[in-house]
Structure 1
Amino acid sequence: MSSRALAVYDGSGIDGGLYTRVNEWAQAAPHWLDELIRLWSAVGLGLFAVFMLYAWWRARGAESAVMAGVLASPVIVVLAYAANSALKSTVEEIRPCAQIPGSVSLEACPGTGDWSFPSNHTVIAFAAATALWFVDRRLGWVAGLFAVLMGASRVWVGVHYPHDVAVGALVGVLVALVLAALARRCGPLVDRMRGGALRPLLGPGALPLVARGHSPYETPRH
């Protein structure tokens, strides 16, 4: 199927009924809840940048492979976003808030040319969470929880179908899985960088046994 055959696609036939139900919940919800979700949907991606900074701070004392993964995280997010943008421009799905009569969006409904499928916010959140999971399992799970909340918020505010979010999550995870695994192989490069002018930013890495107070020349006691 050519890209032109997919142009200006109406995705309401996939899960428009579910979108409408969620939209009705949003319209019936308390104003404070809608405002909270709208705010999270608008600025919540900044939290993932904070997660990356936290991961970098902790990785200064970690092995070079871990620091390599941390440094690659923002690059992975950008590449996932680029892949998703190419998919968006191929499918050109109309936003549900512009397609389904009676739907209400909590933020301005994007106009023609700002396509719906897949969700950029969701791709960014899940790519970041997956990349962070490779360097810190606990942080990755926490980021993953917030990624789910980000994806759900995009449906709640009325600018995406559920399938936009589901596929966006898949794109973010798949791109990050491949690239994060490759990034950890760049540990030797980080080793060299830690030996130069970037050492204050990258840290000394994992301390050897001698630095921890365990000399390899000590005779074991019996």
Structure 2
Amino acid sequence: MDLDDLLEDLLEDAGKAARRGARRVQAGAAGARRTVRRGVRAVGGVSAAALLAIAIALFATGNAVLQVIAAVVLVPAVVAGGAALTAHVLDRRDPRTVADRALRRGEALPATTQADLTQVPVDVADDWRRLLQARALVADLGRDGWIAGPSQLEIDGEVARLHRLLVAERRTTALGGRASPELRGQVGELADLLVALADDAVQLQVQAGAERSTAPATLTDARDHLRSLRAARREVADIDDQVRGRGQVGGTA
């Protein structure tokens, strides 16, 4: 390995470490924002309810002065209620909250993607089985909080898309259509990506050590991991080819 290769590896490792750190900071900031929103929602809701109860009680006295005070009390009640409602809406729209809610409802993995393997072309059944096994592993790790919820939803959408295409292709080829090599490549590619994602999730937890929590693994980092792994394999294969080529030249000589 020459100096350029060493520098390239060091820069790549530094980039990965920086991305992991940024992701942890981002996850921590997102968690803090959710905590603040939920705190505002709770405090605002309780305050609005209490102030509204006081205003109603003052109005009920029939005393003009107390009714004026009740009207004044209504102002902060409305403000507190508005803040609680705004915090609630923002929390409901938060991507992490949306993902967690969908996963709890079981919406993440459509039932059709787990259908009988006879629905997909015979020559892709083994790859599809591997893909579903990798997806099940990712789902298990996701339930432990090791994989980001939005990444899980993105995976499920892609699995469902590929399943629809495979089922349609099986029906088409039965009528004389052509099989798609590209579709088979996408199935294998997604399976490889999910394995890389699961591996990233485990490695992040190992690196966390004694820390009680760490940022969950994401598809973006898994894609980087997969590209790096394939590049390393190509480099090893090239070196092996060069060594074999030199050996053949030497034997011929």
TM-score strictly above 0.5: no
Bigger radius of gyration among the two: 2
TM-score, with length taken from structure 1: 0.32
Structure showing greater relative contact order (alpha-carbon pairs closer than 8 Å, 6 or more residues apart): 1
